[in-house]
Amino acid sequence: MMVEKSQPVPDLLAFVAIGSIAALVTILCTVAGNYPGAKPLLSAVITGLGAGTLILFRQLRKAANSLTASKSRARYVATHDTLTQLPNRTLFLERLADAQRTDAGAPSDASLAIFCVGLDRFDEVSEVLGPDATDNLAIEVASRLRTACDEHDTVARLGDDLFGVLRSGQGTDFAGEFAADLIKVLSETYAAAAGQVVVTCSIGASLVPPGLGKPADALRHAKLALSSARKLGGAHWRCFEPAMDLALKSRNALEVELRRAVAKGELTMVYQPQVNAKGAIVGVEALMRWFREGRAEVSPSQFIPLSETCGLSDAICQFALRQAVLDAQKWPNLKVAINVSAQQIRSGSLIAMLTELLQETGCNPRNFELEITESVLLADESDIYQTLHAVRRLGFGIALDDFGTGYSSLSYLRRFPVDKIKIDRSFVSHLGQQPESSAIIKAIVDLAVALELKVLAEGVETQAQADTLERLGCSLYQGYLFSKPVAAGEIDAMVAKRVKRAA
Ligand code: C2E
Ligand code: CA
Ligand code: CA
């Protein structure tokens, strides 16, 4: 670790005081020369002054030294992490700026490398371990990082679960090797009081060619690369690419626009009919749309996940529920399915929203079902179990969306209160092309029958698919063959037309 520079004794006061005494002594010496009778008295005074000067000088030096020490202590505290004693973000950025200045004339293939090392699932681990063991874990991580780096590198703690490494004069190939080494070293088991713990890390690297870029940008780039590495599921590393920055910027722009669209009520709901084996409409699925004037529509697959990362998910869920319930007042004989995201189930606000909606509109909850994806059940948290039971107690049904795409498991189908399974479109679209698709659909239908659940096939586009599905025992369908999602105002006419056709 680098040592902070000590300050010179800066005591102007000492110079002034000693200078004044020296001047006084000189005057006294001159006086003594002119008045020989006063010599003994004057020499005693001069000796006294000399001794006083010495004492004053030593006192001033002591005071100046202690001032220097407390200044460098204050500087140390301001620039280091108190737990691990590693440099903090401030010092990391200073060192980065210094290194960029020093490296300005280095060969172009000798880049400055910045690594952001993020511990994976740190919140979960610290919840399990408790605060003391988590602190020990951070200290151990710091120590492993120091050992893995060499003395010229700067290793810093940039946040609770975030560390930084700075290395100068490296070729591009090196970054991958070094990152892979760090992942290996940090992933070895840690000994905690509760037993052995494994904590992996993800790494984002940013290489700054000599003389280019600003320190804060370089660190931001490494963090962007880290987020991208984290999406790979842990224990991966990624090097920064300009596309990551562009993606983030366009995501931020979309977020601003979505916020405005929600506030201005620019989102709407459309409805896709669900039909029975006779082709009669028995229900609709409510799907959200964001039409932007003069510009391309944004898919809900894009803006719904975005809303969940920027605090808009409650507002969006509330809008979908409310609008679907209001529109459904015109269709007392149809079941209306409303999509509810996994985050909404976990957030805890869903039950309050539904209760308020029932009081406000007086709607019959049995006419509605909430569509959730399998991933919600996978989390296997007791909160989710309770929320889903509360949904059922209020009278709403529950349909399991995109069934077959996750880890479809019999045990959670039995444990959780589900009324309907929706077979994912991917199986339906492969019917007639991949023999296993019809085997899977048959297995899902048998499962549904055994558990007394309804089963609906999504994404039915051709009559051949509908026929095969019927043969496999599935008698509820949704897909472009019957209708694309349409505006609420079109549903009544479609119901009437289909009733006629079914008759
Ligand atoms: P999802 O719930 O699986 O909805 C079915 C999607 O498949 C819809 O896309 C629908 O338009 C499309 N689809 C229906 N039939 C066919 C077909 O025959 N062929 C093809 N190729 N596609 C078909 P959409 O409306 O773009 O929605 C995409 C996803 O966005 C939905 O998938 C759902 O996960 C989510 N979503 C939509 N609206 C909402 C909402 O109000 N709240 C929440 N949380 N999610 C929503
Ligand atoms: Ca759905
Ligand atoms: Ca679906």
Per-residue pLDDT of the chain in tens (503 residues, 90 and over written 9): 443 444 444 456 556 666 776 677 677 667 667 777 777 777 787 788 778 878 888 888 888 888 888 998 999 999 999 999 999 999 999 999 888 887 666 666 667 899 999 999 888 888 888 889 899 999 999 999 999 999 999 999 999 999 999 998 666 678 889 999 999 999 999 988 878 889 999 999 998 877 677 778 889 999 999 999 999 999 999 999 999 999 899 999 999 999 999 999 999 999 999 999 999 999 999 999 999 888 889 999 999 999 999 999 999 999 999 999 999 999 999 999 999 998 899 888 999 999 999 999 999 999 999 999 987 877 657 888 899 999 999 999 999 999 988 766 777 788 889 999 999 999 999 998 888 999 999 999 999 999 999 999 999 999 999 999 999 999 999 999 999 999 999 999 999 887 777 66
pLDDT confidence of residue 502: 65
CB neighbours of 83 closer than 8 A, spacing ≥ 6? 135, 138, 139, 157
pLDDT confidence of residue 1: 40
Q: Please give the sequence-ordered ranges of beta strands (E in DSSP) within 340-499, or none if there are none.
A: 368-373, 397-403, 420-423, 454-457, 476-477, 486-487
Q: Are 444 and 455 in contact (CB under 8 A)?
A: yes
pLDDT confidence of residue 107: 63
Per DSSP, the three-state class of 334 is coil
pLDDT confidence of residue 103: 65
Closest ligand 1 atom, CA of 402? 3
**Ligand 1: which of 262, 290, 339, 427 to mutate, most ligand atoms within 8 Å of CB?**
339
The number of folded domains in the chain is 3
**If you ran DSSP here, which 8-state letter would residue 194 be given?**
T
Distance CA 82, CA 70 (A): 16
> From the CA of 287, how far away is ligand 1's center (Å)?
6
Range of the domain at 202: 89-240
Which residue CA neighbors atom 11 of ligand 1 most closely? 485
Question: CATH code at 460?
Answer: 3.20.20.450
Closest ligand 1 atom, CA of 338? 41
> From the CA of 477, how far away is ligand 2's center (Å)?
13
Residue 263 lies in a domain: no
Residues 117 and 51 in one domain: no
Residues 138 and 284 in one domain: no
Residues 336 and 233 in one domain: no
Q: Give the pair of three-digit tokens for residue 408.
A: 């479809």
Per DSSP, the three-state class of 213 is coil
Q: Is the CB of residue 421 below 6 angstroms from any atom belonging to ligand 1?
A: no
Residues 233 and 101 in one domain: yes
pLDDT confidence of residue 311: 92
Which residue CA neighbors atom 32 of ligand 1 most closely? 301
Domain final residue pick, 79, 111, 140: 79
Q: Is the CB of residue 341 below 6 angstroms from any atom belonging to ligand 1?
A: yes
- Residue-wise DSSP of 78-133: HHB-TTT--B-HHHHHHHHHHHHHHGGGS-TT-EEEEEEEEETTHHHHHHHH-HHH
Residue 3 lies in a domain: no
CB neighbours of 73 closer than 8 A, spacing ≥ 6? none
Torsion of CA 17, 18, 20, 23, to 10 degrees: 180
pLDDT confidence of residue 424: 95
Residues 451 and 358 in one domain: yes
Residue 72 lies in a domain: yes
Which ligand does the CA of 456 lie closest to? Answer: 3
Torsion of CA 448, 450, 451, 457, to 10 degrees: 10
Residues 187 and 283 in one domain: no
Residues with CB under 5 A from ligand 2 (ion): 339, 371, 401
> From the CA of 176, how far away is ligand 2's center (Å)?
41
Q: Is the CB of residue 306 below 6 angstroms from any atom belonging to ligand 1?
A: no
CB neighbours of 67 closer than 8 A, spacing ≥ 6? none
> From the CA of 307, how far away is ligand 3's center (Å)?
19
Q: Around Cβ 190, how many Cβ atoms within 10 Å?
A: 19
Of 403, 372, 402, nearest in space to 385 by CA: 372
Q: Is the CB of residue 287 below 6 angstroms from any atom belonging to ligand 1?
A: yes
Q: Are 179 and 115 in contact (CB under 8 A)?
A: yes
Which ligand does the CA of 286 lie closest to? Answer: 1
Residue 130 lies in a domain: yes
Domain final residue pick, 223, 240, 257: 240
Residue 323 lies in a domain: yes
Distance CA 422, CA 404 (A): 9
Residue 262 lies in a domain: no
CA 263 to centroid of chain Cα atoms: 24
Residues 123 and 236 in one domain: yes
Residues 276 and 204 in one domain: no
Strands 190-192 and 154-159: unpaired
Per DSSP, the three-state class of 472 is coil
Strands 335-339 and 368-373: parallel
Tell me phi and psi for residue 3, to 5 degrees: -95, 140
Residue 257 lies in a domain: no
Residues 484 and 465 in one domain: yes
pLDDT confidence of residue 503: 65
Q: Distance of CA 195 to CAs 126, 129, 144, Å?
A: 14, 10, 19
Residues 217 and 94 in one domain: yes
Residue 246 lies in a domain: no
Closest ligand 1 atom, CA of 340? 44
Which residue CA neighbors atom 42 of ligand 1 most closely? 339
Q: Is the CB of residue 402 below 6 angstroms from any atom belonging to ligand 1?
A: yes
pLDDT confidence of residue 464: 95
CB neighbours of 470 closer than 8 A, spacing ≥ 6? 277
Q: Are 116 and 219 in contact (CB under 8 A)?
A: yes
Q: For residue 291, list its beta bridge partners.
A: none
Distance CA 275, CA 466 (A): 11
Residues 422 and 453 in one domain: yes
Q: Give the pair of three-digit tokens for residue 175.
A: 């970054």
Of 275, 267, 271, 200, nearest in space to 232 by CA: 200
CB neighbours of 355 closer than 8 A, spacing ≥ 6? 394
Which residue CA neighbors atom 25 of ligand 1 most closely? 287
pLDDT confidence of residue 7: 45
Residues 312 and 445 in one domain: yes
Question: CATH code at 106?
Answer: 3.30.70.270
Q: Is the CB of residue 299 below 6 angstroms from any atom belonging to ligand 1?
A: yes
Largest pairwise CA distance in the chain: 141
Using H for helix, E for strand and C for coil, what is the string for 419-460? CEEEECHHHHHCCCCCHHHHHHHHHHHHHHHHCCCEEEECCC
Domain final residue pick, 79, 104, 125: 79
Q: Is the CB of residue 183 below 6 angstroms from any atom belonging to ligand 1?
A: no
